[in-house]
Amino acid sequence: MREKLADRLVPALLAIGAVLTAIDVVWTFTVAPLVQGARLSEPAIIAGQVVTTKLLLSQKIFYLHVPVAVASFAAMAVAAFFAARFLATKDRAHDRASRTAMQVTLVFIIATMISGDVWTRFEWGVWWVWEPRLTTYFILMLLVIGYFILRNALDDPERSARFGAVFCIIAFIDAPISFFITRLVPSSVHPVVFRTDSGLPPAMLIPFLLGLFGMCMIAFALYRYALRVNTAADEVEELKERLEELDASAQRVAADEALERLQAQAAALVAADPVADPATDRAADSAAGPAAHAGDMPPIPSKED
């Protein structure tokens, strides 16, 4: 019942999420102020105002980059939850839900890495920096990719589901580490976004929250759509396996019936002409023994002859 209700809400959630994300983007480039960056070598006059620092346009990526990253963490948490439920119940539906959530996780992780690299290139002048947040998130991406490699490497569905669930739970350990790493290892490169004081003025906080809720709605909608597709694919595979089993069973029944017909025909031939049966001739010969052919032997001459 709840799944049917969720499926009915999916189109609405997808539309609302898209609208919120669009508002986030428009607000970001029209209302949200630019962030002050590095200090200029000498003051400049822009629009009649003296500016002493760079205004970072690349910071606008933040309003999409962070919501996408948070959505990837949420999707992976769902995957780990259903993986634990599968290990506890052995219900393949939970394994399917976990696998689907991992697929959504991979999509949002790739989007996070692309937007993060663009931000890194324009803000720091390089495509990659081995700082704590980037390193732990890169490891998370490798773990998610390894999850699918592991599942595809195992032919047995039961082993693939069991090993995949265990690996998913282990990989999820890196998600909170990557999320809290800026608090555990302070870095000037990645600021702490989620704080008690939010760290953002209203003109920046509002579009950020709109993007965050919108991206989470989109992630949930994608998860439900993908789950529906995976469920249908699994049902098709089950039907194929059943058809193969029925076909093999039908072939065995046909072979048994053909063997029975041959045996019946052989029995009928033996009953109609028992002399022609070699087995019957051999049995008669063995029963008669040497005495049966005594008359056929030539007489033994005596001494008088």
List Cβ<8 Å contacts ≥24 apart for 177-183: 177/136, 178/73, 178/133, 178/136, 178/137, 178/139, 178/140, 179/73, 181/132, 181/133, 181/136, 182/132, 182/133
Residue that has been written with the tokens 């976990």 in this structure: 98
How sure is the predictor about 95, in pLDDT bands with cuts at 50, 70 and 90?
very high
* The pLDDT value given to residue 305: 47
Highest mean pLDDT among 56-60, 101-105, 152-156, 200-204: 101-105
The stretch 215-232 carries a mean pLDDT of: 93
- Lowest mean pLDDT, pick from 35-44, 226-235, 242-251, 258-267: 35-44
* The pLDDT value given to residue 58: 62
Q: Tell me the angle at which helices 132-153 and 92-124 cross, rounded to the nearest 10 degrees.
A: 140
* HSE of 119, CA atoms in CB hemisphere, 13 A: 18
Give CA–CA dist 28/36, Å, rounded: 15
Contact 79, 164 (CB under 8 A): no
How sure is the predictor about 230, in pLDDT bands with cuts at 50, 70 and 90?
very high
Whether the pLDDT of residue 53 is over 50: the answer is no
- Lowest mean pLDDT, pick from 4-8, 174-178, 192-196: 192-196
pLDDT tens-digit readout, 98-123: 999 999 999 999 999 998 888 777 76
Mean pLDDT of the chain: 79
Q: Which amino acid is at 237?
A: E
- Lowest mean pLDDT, pick from 63-77, 103-117, 133-147, 179-193: 179-193
How sure is the predictor about 281, in pLDDT bands with cuts at 50, 70 and 90?
low
The stretch 194-199 carries a mean pLDDT of: 52
Whether the pLDDT of residue 284 is over 90: the answer is no
- Among residues 49, 14, 48, the alpha carbon closest in space to that of 221 is found at 14
Q: What is the pTM of this model?
A: 0.72
